[in-house]
Amino acid sequence: MQRSIYFTEEHDLLRDQIRRFISEKVVPNGDAWEADGMTPRQVLKDLASLGLLGIRYPEQFGGSNLNTLESVVLAEELGRSSYGGFAITVLVHTDMASPHLANAGTPEQIEKYMPDIIKGNLITAVAVTEPDAGSDVAGLNTRAVKEGNDWVLNGTKTFITNGVHGDLYFVAARTDTSQKGSRGITMFIVEKGTPGFTVGRAIDKMGWQSSDTAELIFDECRVPENNILGGVDQGFYAILKNFQNERIVLGAQAIGEAQKALELTLEYTRNRKAFEATLWDKQTIRQRLSMRLSEVEAGRQMVYHAAWLDTQGIDCTKEVSMVKAYCVELVNKVMYDCQQFHGGFGYIKGTAIERMVRDARIQSIGGGATEVMLEEVAKRI
């Protein structure tokens, strides 16, 4: 019997396929990737061989031509892997960077790059954040000046996921300094190896250890005019459009992480004995976990509904902002309790809970800080 109004048997098969991949490929190797500070390129190619890097993209380029609900299944299951760095490496490529090409690319740009993106031959990154501009996209300072048939980029980007090992970067730069705020921003396609573009320092993070993060430097970086993505001075609108998808999948990832942490904690508390009984026998603990499970289920349904609205073409900016704010705060609340109930073992490096606690912290910062999300909600009340 169908248990969800949003998902079908095909979605269940997709979920099972992703879980098998994680069980066979990710769980046995995740600790090594954490130590290396990156998820190997071959892992993305293996995902591509299963059709998981092109879920939303046209079949003519090797994609599956599906929709937001399938992206949510992918994100939720990647979150359940317990390796947040691996999950975000994949999701930046599939749902945060490459959609800029899919949404705004010319037919020639899409034909040139999309097949290799779907195959995992080209790893993508999106470069918006700067040292002085994060959630406030209107504060961007990277400049692009027209010179002949080229644009010359100067500036620095930071906290760029897939920045070290990426191949193709979608870069936001200010092209009209006479316009204030969000106006006058343009997106550019920049290939690794372009003169004047260098990857600066790799950034050592508190969590997401198996995800590479970098500073990018543009110093007289000359980009041809046909690498403009979506039109001059139209970049802010492209960024806003993709924020919706990005925030839905981040909410789904957070729910997957929270669910996995609770599963691990339920198993631990049912086996760990203290004062002649298991921890699960303590009323306070089992009631707290029951409440967290209830909250995670509520968050899951919020994610599913927002994804469904998006598939219907309904403006769901308020609902997506609610999803991002609620789910990422919830995953941190869940992690706190799960670590608490693991006791000292939850504080030891090398345990899943300790890693997941560190990974979850960034969720309320990246992709739009919680405070920014709540302001988006407030504007629409």
Q: Which residue, of 85, 102, 122, is where some domain finishes?
A: 122
Summarize pLDDT for 297-347 with one digit per residue, the tens. 999 999 999 999 999 999 999 999 999 999 999 999 999 999 999 999 999
pLDDT over 90 percentage in the chain:
87
Summarize pLDDT for 45-63 with one digit per residue, the tens. 999 999 999 999 999 998 9
Q: Which residue, of 185, 210, 233, is where some domain finishes?
A: 233
Looking at the structure, tell me whether residues 140 and 215 fall in a common domain.
Answer: yes
269 close to 337: Cβ distance less than 8 angstroms: no
Looking at the structure, tell me whether residues 256 and 368 fall in a common domain.
Answer: yes
Is 373 within a domain?
yes
Is 343 within a domain?
yes
pLDDT of residue 234: 87
Is 371 within a domain?
yes
What HEC string does the chain produce? Answer: CCCCCCCCHHHHHHHHHHHHHHHHHHCCCHHHHHHHCCCCHHHHHHHHHCCCCCCCCCHHHCCCCCCHHHHHHHHHHHHHCCCHHHHHHHHHHHHHHHHHHHHHCCHHHHHHHHHHHHHCCCCEEEECCECCECCCHHHCCCEEEEECCEEEEEEEEEEEECCCCCCEEEEEEECCCCCCCCCCEEEEEEECCCCCEEEEEECCCCCCCCCCEEEEEEEEEEEEHHHEECCCCCHHHHHHHHHHHHHHHHHHHHHHHHHHHHHHHHHHHHHCEECCEEHHHCHHHHHHHHHHHHHHHHHHHHHHHHHHHHHCCCCCHHHHHHHHHHHHHHHHHHHHHHHHHHHHHHHCCCCHHHHHHHHHHHHHCCCCCHHHHHHHHHHCC
Confidence of residue 186 (pLDDT cuts 50, 70, 90): very high
Q: Kindly report the CATH number assigned to the domain that includes residue 36.
A: 1.10.540.10
Whether 246 sits among the annotated catalytic residues: the reply is yes
Catalytic residue, candidates 76, 246, 257, 376: 246
pLDDT over 70 percentage in the chain:
98
Confidence of residue 289 (pLDDT cuts 50, 70, 90): very high
Looking at the structure, tell me whether residues 244 and 196 fall in a common domain.
Answer: no
Is 2 within a domain?
no
pLDDT of residue 127: 96
Summarize pLDDT for 218-266 with one digit per residue, the tens. 999 999 999 999 989 888 888 888 888 999 999 999 999 999 999 999 9
pLDDT at 8 over 50: yes
Split into its structural domains, the chain has a count of 3
pLDDT at 44 over 90: yes
Is 366 within a domain?
yes
pLDDT of residue 1: 46
Looking at the structure, tell me whether residues 229 and 240 fall in a common domain.
Answer: no
Q: Which residue, of 233, 256, 281, is where some domain finishes?
A: 233
What is the domain range of residue 117?
Answer: 9-122
* Pair of tokens at residue 14: 């997709």
111's CB contacts (< 8 A; 6+ apart) are 61
Q: Kindly report the CATH number assigned to the domain that includes residue 171.
A: 2.40.110.10
Distance CA 219, CA 227 (A): 17
Is 3 within a domain?
no
